[in-house]
Amino acid sequence: MPLAGHRGCGVPSPVQATIDLEVYMAWEAGSGPAVEPSFPSGVSLALQSGGASRRMGGDKATTRFVDGTLLEWIRDRVAPLFGHVFVVANDPARFRMFGLPVVTDALDERGSAVGVYTALLASPTDRVLCLACDMPFVTPRLLRRLVEGSVGSDVFVPRHGPYMQPVCAVYSRAIAGVFEDFLAEGERRIDAIYNRVNTEYLDVDDGRFGHPDELFMNVNTPEELAAARERALREIDAGLTTRRGVVLRDSALLARGGAGGAPSLAPRIEAFRARSLLPVVSFVGKKKSGKTTVLVGVIRELAGRGYRVAALKHDTHGFDVDIPGTDSYRLREAGAVVTGISSPDTYVWVNRSTQEPTLEQLVARISEPVDLVITEGFKRKDAPKIEVSRRERSSSLICDEDELVGIVSDQRFDGYRVPQLAMDDFAAIADLVEVRILGGKRSAVP
């Protein structure tokens, strides 16, 4: 079953996923530079333009939404994350104005299964994320998790309760033949193919990506369109989204954990933030709770986003970085209060002290240009904290809620209104640090 046609124009719109406002405003004015995609190039994005839209009474993809069409809202929200983006449509001529390649349905019939099959045939990459154009509130963070989790599976699909989201899922091009047989048998429900291939599921019932009913809100009727438009305007008013649909802040990440949103930090924490020369966040927790493993993952994620991170570990038992017998050790033993060693790419100073410096003093002594200081420990200091807790170690926390900007754990702590994230969801933890500690600012360090 060859493709009926494949014609394209333009490139994905140049908007950063974690938005740089200067770049975004330049793009809105028509002069923004192209940017690199945020996701690996091994996954393409296929925007499914939809079927007959009988309940809507007209084409959903090109219906007016906020400042543009529904398809433009979704395009600007998620397309810049991918290196390859195209639209699947039964009438390509209607979609050439959107600046994306358009692929004609492979079969002369309607249905989401045909759209997914077409995407598999047209995808220039081994995997393709198929996303319906009538789901305007799917977030970049969810798509990132789908892309990362899809490695090794034929299908990777979100699931909540008994429901699945087959038009917000990643498919492997290797199953195109299975899809062809499936459609030749007259099958049209996409989820009916899942038991024929290696299908894995992303369970979203825990709310870490937002409430499923809100995340996967469909726009099928004029009434649903009006409700979605009202919700979009509320997001814009709250500073979560631009009028072009670009996500500035993730409301699910900020508010997850309970009703009423995240609580304010204690006055002493806010005072510390005001005094500190650099943004600081302390990862704390009981011994053997997994703090270092979490920190390694988060620092790697932040470094990959272009941030320069200083890492500072607190040791209550004392330490010695110098090795007995080395020249610097001998100099210190002879009575030098400060010793140091320098090489072309590394240097270190070792200071003797009769009193431990404060966290503020330690931060002030960082001479290299960095965007952020992440500490492991310092649980009694006044920096904002993310507590790491492992069920095997303890079922309680050491911090009060007004000290915390988040909890990272393999268990749930009811009653806490701060975001609660999985221990291996380093991207989400990095998102939290960006929003609550860095205020959404991109790296200013050259």
What whole-number distance in Å separates Cα of residue 78 and Cα of residue 332?
Answer: 56
Residues above pLDDT 70, as percent of the chain: 77
> 94 pLDDT exceeds 90?
no
pLDDT at 364 over 80: yes
pLDDT for the residue 13: 28
Structure confidence at residue 317 (pLDDT): 55
Q: What are the extents of the domains in the chain? A: 6-254, 267-324+353-436
- Asked if residue 382 lies in contact with residue 268, where contact means CB atoms within 8 angstroms, the answer is yes
CA 100 – CA 11 distance, rounded (Å): 6
Would you state the pLDDT for residue 257? 42
CA 388 to chain centre: 20
- Which tens digits make up the pLDDT trace of 122-149? 999 999 999 998 999 998 889 988 998 8
Pick from 54-58, 94-98, 255-259, 320-324: least confident: 255-259
Determine contact, residues 291/284, Cβ cutoff 8 Å.
Answer: yes
Amino acid identity, residue 21? L
Containing 76, the helix (H) or strand (E) segment is: helix 70-78
Please write down the HEC assignment for all residues of 116-163: HHHHHHHCCCCEEEEEECCCCCCCHHHHHHHHHHCCCCCEEEEEECCE
Cα 276 to Cα 284, 347, 366, 373, 375: the distances in Å are 19, 24, 12, 10, 14
Give SS3 for 414: coil
CATH code for the part of the protein at 6-254: 3.90.550.10
Taking only the tens place, the pLDDT of each residue in 367-409 is 888 899 998 878 888 889 999 999 998 888 999 989 998 999 9
Instruction: Tell me how far the alpha carbon of residue 310 is from its chain's centroid.
Output: 22
Indicate whether 158 pLDDT > 90.
Answer: yes
pLDDT in tens, 174-206: 999 999 999 998 888 898 999 999 999 999 887
| Tokens 């649903």 found at | 224
Structure token digits, residue 274: 């005001």
pTM for the model stands at: 0.59
Banded model confidence at residue 32, pLDDT cuts 50, 70, 90: very low
Please say if the pLDDT value at position 44 is more than 90: yes
- Banded pLDDT at 296 (limits 50, 70, 90): very high
Does the pLDDT of residue 55 top 70, yes or no? Answer: no
Distance between CA atoms of residues 375 and 359, nearest Å: 9
First-to-final CA distance of the chain:
51
Q: Which two tokens stand for residue 66?
A: 């906020």
Do residues 128 and 43 lie in contact, with contact meaning Cβ atoms separated by under 8 Å? yes
Sign of dihedral through CA atoms 380, 381, 387, 392?
A: negative
Q: What is the mean pLDDT of residues 346-366?
A: 76
Same topology for domains 6-254 and 267-324+353-436, yes or no? no
Percent residues over pLDDT 90 in the chain? 27
Closest of 216, 237, 238, 240 to residue 228, by C-alpha: 216
Average pLDDT over residues 205-234: 87
Burial pattern 215-251, b for ≥16 Cβ within 10 A else e, equals bbbbbeeeebbeebbeebeebbeeebbbebbbbbbbb
- For domain 267-324+353-436, the CATH architecture is 3-Layer(aba) Sandwich (3.40)
Ramachandran category for residue 422: left, alpha or beta (phi over 0 → left; psi -120 to 50 → alpha): beta
Question: Regarding predicted confidence, which is higher, 125 or 352?
Answer: 125
pLDDT at 58 over 90: no
Distances (CA, A) of 87 to 63, 71, 74, 105, 128: 16, 10, 12, 10, 12
Which segments of 276-387 does DSSP mark as H helices, in order? 291-304, 327-333, 359-364
Q: Is the pLDDT of residue 5 over 70?
A: no
- Cα–Cα dist 276/102, whole Å: 51
291-304 vs 426-436: helix crossing angle, rounded to 10: 70
Residue 225 identity? L
Residues 255 and 250: their CA atoms lie apart, in Å, by: 9
Q: For residue 38, give both structure tokens.
A: 């945020």
Among 30-44, 76-90, 238-252, 257-271, name the one with the lowest average pLDDT: 30-44
Instruction: Concatenate the DSSP letters of all residues of 228-244 into one string.
Output: HHHHHHHHHHTTSB-TT
Sequence-ordered list of residues with C-beta below 8 angstroms from that of 59, at least 6 positions apart, any chain: 49, 50, 53, 94
Distance CA 140, CA 1 (A): 33
pLDDT at 3 over 70: no
